[in-house]
Amino acid sequence: MLELLGKGDWVITVQKSKNDNINILNVRGLKKYFPIQKGFLKRTVGYTKAVDGVNFFIKKGETLGLVGESGSGKTTIGRCIVRLYEPTEGSVEFCTNGEMKNLLKLDKQEMKKVRRHFQMLFQDPYSSLNPRMRIGNIITEPLKAHGIGTYKEQIEQAKELLVKVGLDEDQLNRYPHEFSGGQRQRIGIARALSINPEFVICDEPVSALDVSVQAQVLNLLSDLQDEFNLSYLFIAHDLSVVEYISDRIMAMYLGKIVEISPSEEMYQNPKHPYTEALLGSISKHEPGSSRRIILHGSIPDPSNPPSGCVFHTRCRYARDICKEVVPKLEAVKGISGAFVACHRSDELSLKGCI
């Protein structure tokens, strides 16, 4: 792919090795509390603890899946990383040009410079594309915003990207409504890749698409990742989607990470009762069967989370300690890269998918 280093300087990007084995992202102690305001004077009467002390990293070229029920805080994590939300606490270190920078400490100008290294891809390809803009302008908009390239170079880049994502370069002059949902998501991907990012946060990018189209878009994302050594934080409800694309998976419940494990390990050998419950609805022997999460009861109010382990009110294995003591996310003995926050993980033998 062609990469623009500065105005007018086109160079061919050298393919980086996939296993640089360095972290592109370190998230530490991340919290996002939304104030709950009431009354005429909008007094703050409490806080929604959407993200409540989260730690994780993503390696270069890696995909980290993020799963959890609706309202668990997945989108909030994504938005805090790119500072669409200002986090309440914590640090978000991002590696750019070999240097780790805490994004939360950058001023507007510095943040703008770093922003070209990451992008966000959203669930609904229609509402994230301006209906009154032609595809060419949609794709080149980020290049214009960052002042990269001449007009002619931007159009060339847009054409090349359209082909990369499986569309025709002469579709440049069309409008979003002339495309199907899957094609629109391809356009969203072309736009996200236009500034040659290293890291993409994919927030349920295929959830709104038909199952058959989902696979095509996932394949595309996977191919583009290999080609450009992209790192993904891949948010999804649908566990089958995350399994397909992720190297490691993180399960989130009520603002906290309850388990992080290598993808296969998590599927075959979950360590947290919540992960087991998430996997409960997956049946690999019934293709096309619903893989939606089946969990009894609803997620508690994040402004008033349960004491101890936040999952204890819905956990079939809960004991007294679970109501009283907050479990720490700790390394699982004997399984490299697996971490769980459960008092009983050593003694439980949970059911995964075979």
Ligand X SMILES: Nc1ncnc2c1ncn2[C@@H]1O[C@H](COP(=O)(O)OP(=O)(O)OP(=O)(O)O)[C@@H](O)[C@H]1O
Q: Which is nearer to ligand X, 47 or 317 (CB)?
A: 47
Site for ligand X contains 73 (CB under 6 A) = yes
Q: 155 is written with which tokens? A: 């159009």
Both tokens of residue 157? 């880049």
Site residues for Mg ion per CB under 5 A: 74-75
Under 8 Å between Cβ of 120 and 201: yes
Between strands 339-340 and 256-262, the pairing is antiparallel
Among ligand X, Mg ion, none, partner that 73 touches (CB below 5 to 8 angstroms by kind): ligand X
* 140 three-state secondary structure: helix
Give the shortest CB-64-to-ligand X separation in angstroms: 15
Fill in the amino acid letter for 110: E
CB of 290 to ligand X, least distance (A): 16
Residue 76 binds: one of ligand X, Mg ion, none (C-beta under 5 to 8 A by kind): ligand X
CB atoms closer than 10 angstroms to residue 339: 21
Binding residue for ligand X (CB under 6 A) from 61, 65, 68, 273? 68
Q: Does 71 help bind ligand X (rule: CB under 6 A)?
A: yes
Q: Which among 65-73, 87-95, 103-111, 275-283 is the span making contact with ligand X, rule CB under 6 A?
A: 65-73
Pick 48 or 229: Cβ nearer ligand X: 48
Angle 73-75-77 from CA coordinates, rounded to 5°:
70
One-letter amino acid for residue 263 of the chain: S
DSSP 8-state symbol, 179: S
89, with CB counted inside 10 A (0-12, 13-18, 19+), is middle
- In the region spanning residues 11 to 50, those forming contacts with ligand X, defined by CB under 6 A, are 34, 48, 50
Q: How far apart are the first and last CA of the chain?
A: 39
For residue 297, the cross-strand partners are none
User: Which part of the chain contacts ligand X (CB under 6 A), choosing from 73-81, 103-111, 171-179, 220-228?
Assistant: 73-81
Q: What span, in angstroms and rounded, lies between the C-alpha atoms of 306 and 101?
A: 35
Q: Which of residues 214-243 bind ligand X (CB under 6 A)?
A: 237
Binding mask 157-196 for ligand X (x = CB under 6 A): ----------------------------------------
Q: Which residue is nearest to Mg ion (CB)?
A: 75
Report which of 312, 209, 307, 217 is spatially closest to residue 258, judged by C-alpha positions. Answer: 312
- Residues across the chain: 354
Q: Does 87 bind ligand X (CB under 6 A)?
A: no
Of 34 and 57, the one with the shorter C-beta distance to ligand X is 34
Q: How far is the CB of 73 from Mg ion (least distance, A)?
A: 8
Residues engaged in binding ligand X (CB under 6 A): 34, 48, 50, 68, 70-76, 237, 302
